[in-house]
Amino acid sequence: MSTTLLCHENIIACNHAVLALTVRLFLGIVFFLQGYDKVFKVKIAGVIEALSEPMSTNHIAKPVVVLAAYYTSFVELIAGIFLILGLFTNFALYALGLDIVMVAFAMGLAKPMWDMHHVFPRLILIVILLAIPPHWDVYSLDFLIHTK
């Protein structure tokens, strides 16, 4: 596939490219804004404070909570930027996959019957992006770098 994608010549290839771009941008924006809030608005100390009580009730050591708060906050911020740019997309998705598993574990400990309406759609979008063939994502920096 050439780096130039003319939609009127191949509508299926255009649809694939738009699918990859839309899902990647949407997920990137969601994670970036969530990470931005955690790092710059709530601050890491606020994230740690919010997690400390429910995690200590379940005998999770404070250093684990601190490490998880830093990891999830910065991964969401940085991987969100990478997804928006389409740069290091697979590595960003791997990091966000671990992030979403950690969040599910923490939420499950804090409240066993927790509402997954925020987490589950993000998991599905991560899985979709991992399943999309890389050559569909033509509107990304990864594609530009790898086709030179």
Question: Residue 112, class by beta-carbon neighbours within 10 Å (0-12 exposed, 13-18 middle, 19+ buried)?
Answer: exposed
Q: Residue 29 and residue 25: Cα distance in Å, rounded?
A: 6
**Do the beta carbons of residue 99 and residue 71 sit within 8 Å?**
yes
User: What's the whole-number mean pLDDT along residues 1-15?
Assistant: 70
Residue 4's pLDDT is 54
Tens of pLDDT, residue by residue over 87-121, are 999 999 999 999 999 998 888 888 777 778 789 99
**Do the beta carbons of residue 99 and residue 72 sit within 8 Å?**
yes
Tens of pLDDT, residue by residue over 115-140, are 787 899 999 999 999 999 999 999 99
**Of residues 2 and 89, more confidently modeled:** 89
List the Cα angle 87/83/63 in 5-degree steps. 105
* Whether this model's pTM surpasses 0.85: yes
* For helices 89-110 and 11-36, angle between their N-to-C axes, nearest 10 degrees: 50
Q: CB-hemisphere CA count at 13 Å for 119?
A: 15
Task: Give 8's pLDDT tier (boundaries 50, 70, 90).
Answer: low
**Do the beta carbons of residue 76 and residue 39 sit within 8 Å?**
no
Tens of pLDDT, residue by residue over 14-66, are 999 999 999 999 999 999 999 999 999 999 999 999 988 888 888 889 999 99
Asked if pLDDT for residue 2 goes beyond 60, the answer is no
